[in-house]
Structure 1
C-alpha cells in the first residue's frame, strides 16, 4: 500500500529490502520498535549521516543514518519541521530543496541534532542555447558569434571542432584562423543538467587563394595551328581568363581553343568560394601564325664567274630560322652571318626560312656562280705599230676556253686617254689614239677570263709618231702655254699665187699663239735678273746669265697701261727674240722636274757649249760665225750655221717655210691659198671671212689685241695673220743683201688685207716688233 507524505517516500516490507536497495527506491523507511536494554545516564551521541553532502543534484540522492542500535533514530528533510523514524537508507528523488538533519533518542533522552546538509534535487530538462552572428559558409574575413542562454543560473559552453573540445563562454567569440570550424554550443545548470547541442554551424575561414595554373601553352611560343590551353584552379572557384592581357575577361568552363592567327597575351585569375580574388597568372604570350613566309632575300652576289671570294647575306623575317644551300638544295645549312665563298667551284645558291611558328617558306630564286681564281695564259705574238699620235696593237688570243677579253694599259699616262682599254674575245687588234707625239710608251696586254682573272701580261714598247695638229702643253712657274706639231715631209704650195712648192723635211712644234707679254716677261726676269724690267740691274737685283743691253725690255701691246699681259709682246728685235728662245729653253730645264732637258739651239762656239746669252744694239750686222747675227746652230757636226742641219730640240724661231706650212695647212692635202689669211675660208677680198681670223686695218681700230681674239686656223693656231707680225729665222730671200733684213710673216693690225696672205713675204729690220717661237 502507498502513503503520501510531503515528500514522496516508498515503504517496502523488510522481507523485500534487498530488492528495494537494488531498485534505488525513493525515500524508504519502516517504523520499528527500538527496545532499550537499560536506562542511559545522559543524552546519546548525535547520529551520523553518510552517503550525501551539501549540493545540487540532478539525480536521486540516498543517505544512511548510523546511531545506537537501541536508539530511536529520526531524520528531517525540511529542517526539523517534521521528523521521521529512520529504519533503512533514505532515497530522495523529487525535485526540491532538502535540509537534512538527524537525532536519536534512548531512554527518553534525545541527542543533539546533526549539522544540516542542504541538498537540491533538480532534474528539469534544459533547451539548447542560441548561436548568433554566424552561419554556415565560406568567408574571407573573420567571423564572430555570440551565445544566448535561456535562464538564470545557466552556464554556457561552445566547441569549434564539433564537440572535440569545449570552452566556457563569456564573451563574443571571433574565428580568425584560416580553417574550417564546426561550431556547437550547450548550456548546463548548477544541478548538472545539460542541454542538447545546438545544430552544428560549419564555418570556413579562407583569406587566401592560389593563382590558377595555365597549361598546354608556352610563353613566347609560335604555333602554326590552333592551340588549346587549360586553366586549373580551386574547387568551386570562379575561373576567368583573358586573351588580351586583361583588357577583357571570359569565364573559364572548359579547355580554350585559339584558332585565329594573331598574337595573344594570355592570363587567368580565380575567385574562390570565400570571395578571395587571386592575382593574375604570369602572362603567356603566344602567336598563332599559319601564314607561309615569303622566301628570304639573298644579297651581295649575282650570277656569273668571279676570280675572288664572294660574300652573300640572307635576310628574312625577324627571328626566323634562315637556311641556305650551295648545291641547289641537296643539303641545307643554318644561316647566322654573311657566308664567304672561297673555294674554286660552281655554286647554286638558294635560301629558305622557317618562321617561329614552324611555317616553311618557298625556296628563293637560285643564284648560280662560279669562283675561278686561275689566270688565263698571256696573249702571244704581241706587236705594236706606231703612228701619228697613235699606236696599233695586234696579238694572238690564248687557248683558254674561258678567255673573255684583253686588258690594255700603258705608261706613261696620256692625258685624255682612259685606261684600261678592254677588247673582247674575237678581236685581236686595238688602236690607242691621242698619244703624245714622240713619246715612247710601254704597253701591257693581259688576258682576262670570265671570272676576271688576269694573266701576268705581255709587254711591248712603241715610240709614237707625232701627228700634225697634236697639241703639247708646257707648264712653267708663272705661265702655261701650248704648242702644235707639224709633221715633216709635207710639201705645199708657196708664193701668193701658189706657183711654187716648198717642203718641210723635219717635223716641228710651233706656238699656239704669238708670244704673250706674260710669257716673255716671266722668262726675261729669270734670265736677266732685271726684275723691274727697266733695262738695267739695280742694286737690289741680281744679274742673271742673259744680257740685253739695248735699254728696252719688250712691251705689252703698244706699251700703254690699257694693255694686259695677254697681249703679244712687242718692241722686240730679231736678236732679242733669238736669244730669248735660248733663255726659254734654259728656264724650262730649270723647272721641268723629272722630264728630260731640252737643248739650246743657238751657240757662240762651234762645239755648242756656250748658248748665246747676250744681245746688243748695233746697226752693224756681223757675218762672223758664232755672233748674234750668225749663231752656230747645234748639229751633228761642229761649226754648223745652217738651220736645216739643226738637231737641238729646244725653243727657236721658225723658218719661213715652217711658218708658211703651219699657216697654209688644212688637212695635209688641201692648203690655204697664198692670198688668203691663215684659217680663212675666203680670199682677202672676203672681209667677213678675213675678219673671222685676223685683226688688221679694217677691224683693229689701229690697236693691238690680246692673243686668241679671233678664230684659230685649221691647225689650231691663232693670229697667224694680223695683230702683230711674226719673226722668222731666215734672212729675207730677196732683200737681205741690200737691207740686211730678216723675214717677218703674217702682217699686223695696221696691215691691209693683201699683206695678210699666207704666201706674202714681209720684211723687217732689227726693230720689227713681233716674235713667234
Structure 2
C-alpha cells in the first residue's frame, strides 16, 4: 500500500515537469510569449515564442485616442490624420479630405529694422497656391491684394499674408513687421585737415545720441572692430584719422576722414636789392627758399598778410618806398616779415631807358627829305625838354601785362615771343597802356579824358583787369578829345618832334636812318625782314643807344597828322582824323624807314592783317 503511494507521487512529479517545459511533439505544455506587442488593425497581443506560434496571450482591442493632423505649420497638409493605441503604440492613419491645408506663406526677410527700400518676397511651398497680403496689419483674405512681385519696404509696416488654393483649406496667416533703420550722423573732428602743431589734440564727436565711435590712424577704413574712441587723440606724427559711428538698429555712419601733417616754418623772403638809394625803375625781385611758398607784400610799410598783394613779378621802384613781405605755404607756419626801404637817387635813369637831353631845334631844310614833307620847317622853333626814352619798342611781354589785343593777336607768321615788339596796336591801345603802366608804378598818368586818368573808367574801354584792356576798334570822338599833361612824369607817346629829335640823336645827326646811312645796319624792312617782325634790339643802336628807331614796326606818336608850318605847336596839329606814325616797318621799303618820313593812320586802325603798328614810350624828366 505504501509502495503504491510513492509510485503515484512520482508520476505526479513527472506530469508537472512535462507541463513546465515546452517539449517537442507535446501539445500539452506551458508556452513562452514575447514581451513585445503584436498587432493588427483592431487588436494587439503577445505572440508565443515557442513552436506553437498560434498561441497568443493578453489579446485585446486597441485603445485609441483622437485623430491628430501630422503636418508642419509652414507646409501643406494632405488631410492625413493619425491616432495611436495607448497600450501598444499601434498607429491608425486616415485621409480627411476636408482637412487639407495650404502651406503657410514665408517672408524672405525676418521681422526687424531694415534699410529703406529693402525688397521682401513672399513664397508658398504649395504648388499652384495664390498669396494675398495686407500692409496695414489687418487679416488678409482672398479679397486682399494678390502678391505678384517683391514688396519694397520704405516705411514702418506690418505685412500679413495667406495662401489660397481651390480644394484646400486656406493657410495660416503669416506675419512680419518692419521698421526703417536710421543712419547715424557722420562723426566730426575738432580740427580740420591740414598742417598742425605737434601734439595737437583732436576730439571726435557724433550727433547721434548713444552712438559709439571707432577709428583708425593708418588710413584704413574703420569698422566696429577698430579702436573705440574714448578720449582726445594727440597728433604727433603725420596721420590720417578715419572714424565711423555705430548704434544698434541703425545703419553705420559714413566714414569721416582727416589728414594731418606737422607744421614747419617757411623761410623768410629775400630781396634782390638791399635797402638804400636806387635808380628810378630799379627792378626788385623777392624770393623764398621754401619750395612752392607764395610771397605777399606791401609797399606802404604795413605788415603783410596772405590777404596782401601776391608777388608774381619784379617790382619796379620809381619812388621812395618800404617793401615788406612774408612767405606762406599751406601746412607750414608763415615766415617772419622781411623788409627793405628804398629812396630814389637824384638824376638816375630808369632801367631800360636812356636819358635824352633836350634842346631847341630851329627849322632848316637840312631836315627835309626828297618827296616828303617835314616837321622842322624853316621858321619853326621847337623846344624839346629832357626825357627818358625807352631804348626799345614796347615788347609783347610788356604789353600783355596791362593790355589785350583788340583784334588779331601776334602770331608766328609775323613774329611772336616775349621780346618781339607788340603789334596789332592802335593809337587808343597805346595810350591805354601808358596810363595803366603809370598807375601801376605810382607815376602821374599823362593822359586824361575829362578829368579821369584811369583807362578802366573811360567810356568805351574794352576788357577787364584780369584779361587786360584795349581801346575802341573804331573812331571815337570822346577818346579823340583826350588831353596830354606835359607836367606828368608817367609814360606817354613822344610827340612827332620829340620822336625825330631822338631819331636824329638829339638833333645832331643828318643820317638817312637813325644811326646810319646804311639801312641794313639799323633797320628791319621789306628787303631783309623775311616778311615778319624781329626781336627788339636785333640791329645796331643809334649813338644814344636807342634801337629800332628805323624799321621793325611803325611807332605811334601823340600828334594829329597835318601840314606843319612855322606856327605849328610843339605837340603838332590841334585836330585831325589821323595820328602820326614814324620809323617805317618790316613790310615797307627803305624810304619809310628814313628819319624824316611821315606816316599816319586812323587812331582806331591796327594795321589790318599785317601787324605793322607798335609804339615806344617816353617819360618827362621832372
Larger radius of gyration: 1
What is the TM-score with the length of structure 1 in the denominator?
0.29
Q: TM-score, normalised by structure 2?
A: 0.36
